Amino acid sequence: DALGPPTEEEKNELDLSDPALLTEREWKFSLATDLNKVLAGGLGVVNLGGALYLGNLLNQYAIMGVRLPAYFGTVQALYPLLLGYAVLFNVIPLARNFWIQKQNEQIRQRNKIRSSWKTALLSSYRDSGLQKKIAAAQKMGGKVKQLGSSKDEIVYDTSSPMEENQLKKAKSDLDEFDKLLGDSSDSFQ
């Protein structure tokens, strides 16, 4: 995990924050302890200092035009690589630290924007009639009857062709009309 486990401070902040608000966690430079980071930095400084000192010693012979024999000749030939390693050992973490600070600033900005949008949304929700409408809809939601729960309530059914449905509807209307005629004929006599 690039972010590592959350610190106690992050856990406390998460407990206090609103769970509806999505916040990004900031990047950490390293998961190492502070002592280990200081020791690594010290090692980098010693490495660079040693490489520069060795370069000074080797330059004394290079100025005279002397090529060192055997082991020292190999060291003299590989010195540029050693110096490059020492420089990069210090420059890469430094550049990474600046890059992470920039990323964390952008993360803080995005978290701030999310928080302000949430605040604006909640204030507009409270100030408008939207809150009343939602409350009324929630109250009405319990009273609403669902259509199609029984066969008598079905208005249109796609399981049979439209012509067949029209015939059934016409027959049903005629039966109802006959029923009404039958009722009125009894009361008429």
Non-local (6+) Cβ contacts of 61 within 8 A are: 68, 76
Q: Which two tokens stand for residue 42?
A: 């010290």
Per-residue model confidence as pLDDT tens digits over 36-66: 999 999 999 999 999 999 999 888 877 777 7
* Average pLDDT, rounded, for the chain: 81
How far is Cα 84 from Cα 73, in angstroms, rounded to an integer? 18
- What's the DSSP call for residue 61? H
Boundaries of every domain in the chain: 8-141, 151-188
- What's the DSSP call for residue 4? -
**What is the pLDDT averaged over residues 3-28?**
72
Per-residue model confidence as pLDDT tens digits over 94-136: 999 999 999 999 999 998 998 888 888 777 767 677 777 777 8
In angstroms, how far apart are the furthest CA atoms of the chain?
Answer: 143
Q: Are 68 and 61 in contact (CB under 8 A)?
A: yes
- Model confidence band, residue 35 (pLDDT cutoffs 50, 70, 90): very high
- Model confidence band, residue 189 (pLDDT cutoffs 50, 70, 90): very low
| Helices assigned H by DSSP within the chain | 8-16, 34-63, 70-127, 130-141, 162-188
**Residue 14 Rama label (left phi>0; alpha psi -120 to 50; beta):** alpha
The pLDDT value recorded for residue 5 is: 75
Pick from 34, 37, 10: nearest CA to 93:
37
